Amino acid sequence: MKGHLHPKNNTTLNPSGNESILDVIGRVSMKRRRFVVTAASTSILAVLGDTTVSGLLQTATASTSTVPAGLGFAGIGFQSIEPNLRNPATGLLEKDLVTVPPGYTARILSAWGDPIMPGAPDWLPDASQGAAAQEKQVGMHHDGMHFFPLPGRSYYNRTSGLDVPVEGRAYNNKGLLCVNHEYTQETILHPDGNTVMTIEKARKSQAAHGVSIQEISKDRFGGGWSVDRNSRYGRRITANTEMRVSGPAAGDALMRSKKFSIQPNGSIEIGVNDGFTAYGTLNNCAHGATPWGTYLTCEENWNVYFANPSGDIESVPGLDQKLEIISGQSRYGIPTSSGYKWPEVDPRFNASTNPLEPHLFGWVVEIDPYEPNSRPVKRTSMGRFKHESAQYVVDDNNRLAYYMGDDERNEYIYKFVCSRTYDTKVRANNRDLLDHGTLYVAKFNDNGTGEWLPLVWGQRGLTPENGFNNQAEVLIKTRQAADRVGATMMDRPEWVAVRPRIRGFNEVEVYCTLTNNSRRGTTPASVNNPDGTTSGGSARPPVDAANPRQDNRYGHIIRWRETGRSVAATTFNWDIFVQAGDSQRTEPNLVGDINGDDFSSPDGLWFDYYGRLWIQTDHSGNGQGDLVNIGSNTMLCANPNSPRQVKLFLTSPTRCEVTGVITTPDHRTMFINIQHPGEGSTPAAPDSVSKWPHSQGYGPSGRPRSATVVITKNDGGIIGT
Ligand code: FEO
Ligand code: CA
Ligand code: CA
Ligand code: CA
């Protein structure tokens, strides 16, 4: 996310005084797209046991060749495309389009505002429609998504990583697409922006958040994919949808916020919630799925919808934890005012007068797309933080674990291990699997080993003397608990991706994008306080082996392997898969170790069913400053084996994030999302920055829209070949 309503990634230049081995190597290999595999990565790969690299330097030319298949990897067959750079004459990017390699086609499937259920009106380009229409239309600012095939629920196959039969019409030509809507851009959502706020605008904005479930199908006569606007599965989950709260924190006194009757013209206080009910999901960034065929949506920057103007809170009857609640609001970054301005018109979001409401956000939410009337469930066992994504592994003993990042500067990487095994045969036995288990946080040692530290009440100082009275409080205060046990502060953990165990590859290997960290290694040095009192994102930790760059402006991707191929392992080995950067720039600290095409700020990350790693980026996308040689945001495809290679597959329109990636099970249709075209425009001229997707032939002119894009290969082949 880069919206004006969101925390900025302040990537100020602060070059390192210490030249690292990467810098030395970078200086000898500055030619564009001719890169190096470093000695540092070689040594840790040796620990991991899959290295074929020998010697200090190994050059490769990725973009002009295909990438051969290898262990657990089917190869890459397309040619890299050129980056979408800024044209100095116009000051704009060369293309306000989604571009894919020759032999591939990108078409828009649906966009913000499109109707997806019975009774939904057509979208109007003047933004005059209100909340009632928006509640039946696709939400705004798409992010993570998953494809659930029809006609039936999918089942997990551990060997292939596939849910369903690979080929055949069934399962590949029809399905339910669950799409997250991360945030809204109020200057485009409303005809006049939100300088003057009203409850009607807040309700529309709330309705544009959450999740869309769209039934989509492929025309059997070659007409492509489309949305069934009258589908019985069509559904919107918004910032006001009633949900169940489950797991150890459900019902806790800290979860009993004020109860409101949520009406179109206002929220009326009617008592106190029971702690087992919540209303709405917010800032749904990335996502996950379960092996039993449900969707997980992750609540990321939910804090920015709240405001605590006074810095104080109203006393809560029966609770003597006033100072701890205030401190917790600071640890999670509740602001004094919200750019969304919902608290001005909707008292539910006033964190001073309704101080427990923030405790109902920051969770992973499970949604069953096949049951349109089912209540979403907030799974508190998976911890409360700024959840980016949640990806699972079922290991050889049918143990199930989820890997998750907390995306803020200096936050942590987590895993949740279910206490019961996954039942591959009886789906009902998995229904409450996510309510019971152990949450761990990662510690990355400088020698390439790591530890999973359990966040269990009574252990490692998670005791009443330190403010943790039970497991519910450990989970509600996950960040403070992780501070206490000594987790490793990371450079903004974004998506995680799990490498499929196919073609002879058997490890439990997990990757995580670390998008950037403007405060890493800067002065005055500081770390997250072990007593949990730090303000969110405020520390300036020194560089370490897992986060090796001062003022990490381009980001990197880290990966780890669980000891003994078990998700329940408490130790792992790790290395850095790639450091992003601009190979043409020579400033210390800026040259990465990319082996292939340049990129910056990795965010979306997904392994396809053939072992290809797809990387998506999220930076300003304007082609200026650090991005002069990188241009727009991109999607790339990487070989996870050595020599690792990265190839540029897709470039985005002007100033858009590329996010969300999934294919049909046969891998012949790929879906991706383009988020926030038109960022930086004004209500008076909403299409002054970008005209996408109209610029690519979709919909009327006048207002840019986040949208889902369908990518196919012209010969009907598998994406990536
Ligand atoms: Fe919403 Fe961390 O990206
Ligand atoms: Ca973004
Ligand atoms: Ca991001
Ligand atoms: Ca993201």
411 lines ligand 1 (CB under 6 A): no
Backbone dihedral angles phi then psi of residue 200, each to the nearest 5 degrees:
-65, -40
**Average pLDDT for 175-191:** 97
406 lines ligand 1 (CB under 6 A): no
Report the pLDDT value the prediction gives residue 709, as an integer from 0 to 100: 98
Distance 620 CA to ligand 3 centre (A): 10
pLDDT in tens, 521-567: 999 999 999 999 999 999 999 999 999 999 999 999 999 999 999 99
pLDDT in tens, 333-345: 999 999 999 999 9
Q: Residue 375 and residue 248: Cα distance in Å, rounded?
A: 19
Q: In sequence order, which residues have a C-beta less than 8 Å from that of residue 185 and are 6 or more positions away? A: 3, 4, 5, 140, 141, 676, 678, 679
pLDDT for 21 beyond 50: no
Q: In sequence order, which residues have a C-beta less than 8 Å from that of residue 500 and are 6 or more positions away? A: 72, 160, 161, 607, 609, 610, 611
- Ligand 1 atom nearest to CA at 1: 1
* Residue 507 C-alpha from the chain's centroid: 24
pLDDT in tens, 122-173: 999 999 999 999 999 999 999 999 999 987 765 555 544 454 445 566 688 9
Q: Residue 535 and residue 532: Cα distance in Å, rounded?
A: 9
- Ligand 1 atom nearest to CA at 182: 1
CA 151, 156, 162, 167 torsion-angle sign: negative
3-state secondary structure of 671: strand
Tell me the HSE value of 130 on the side-chain side, using a 13 A CA sphere. Answer: 8
407 lines ligand 1 (CB under 6 A): yes
pLDDT for 647 beyond 80: yes
**Average pLDDT for 282-300:** 96
Ligand nearest to the CA of 555: 3
Neighbours of 153 (CB within 10 A): 17
- Ligand 1 atom nearest to CA at 492: 2
Q: Residue 337 and residue 361: Cα distance in Å, rounded?
A: 18
Report which of 79, 56, 55 is spatially closest to residue 66, judged by C-alpha positions: 79
pLDDT for 600 beyond 70: yes
**Average pLDDT for 484-511:** 96
Q: What is the pTM of this model?
A: 0.92
Question: Which amino acid residue places its CA nearest to atom 1 of ligand 1?
Answer: 285
Report which of 252, 265, 260, 532 is spatially closest to residue 385, judged by C-alpha positions: 532
**Average pLDDT for 432-440:** 98
Per the prediction, the chain carries an average pLDDT of 89
Ligand nearest to the CA of 9: 3
Report the pLDDT value the prediction gives residue 360, as an integer from 0 to 100: 98
408 lines ligand 1 (CB under 6 A): no
Distance 512 CA to ligand 3 centre (A): 12
pLDDT in tens, 302-329: 999 999 999 999 999 999 999 999 999 9
163 lines ligand 1 (CB under 6 A): no
**Average pLDDT for 508-513:** 98
Q: Residue 598 and residue 720: Cα distance in Å, rounded?
A: 18
Let me know: does 284 contact 300? Beta carbons within 8 Å: yes
Distance 322 CA to ligand 4 centre (A): 33
Let me know: does 56 contact 628? Beta carbons within 8 Å: no
300 lines ligand 1 (CB under 6 A): yes
Report the pLDDT value the prediction gives residue 10, as an integer from 0 to 100: 28
Q: In sequence order, which residues have a C-beta less than 8 Å from that of residue 265 and are 6 or more positions away? A: 199, 200
CA distances from 201 to 130, 186, 188, 674 (A): 8, 9, 12, 24
pLDDT in tens, 68-86: 999 999 999 999 999 999 9
491 lines ligand 1 (CB under 6 A): no
Let me know: does 577 contact 557? Beta carbons within 8 Å: yes
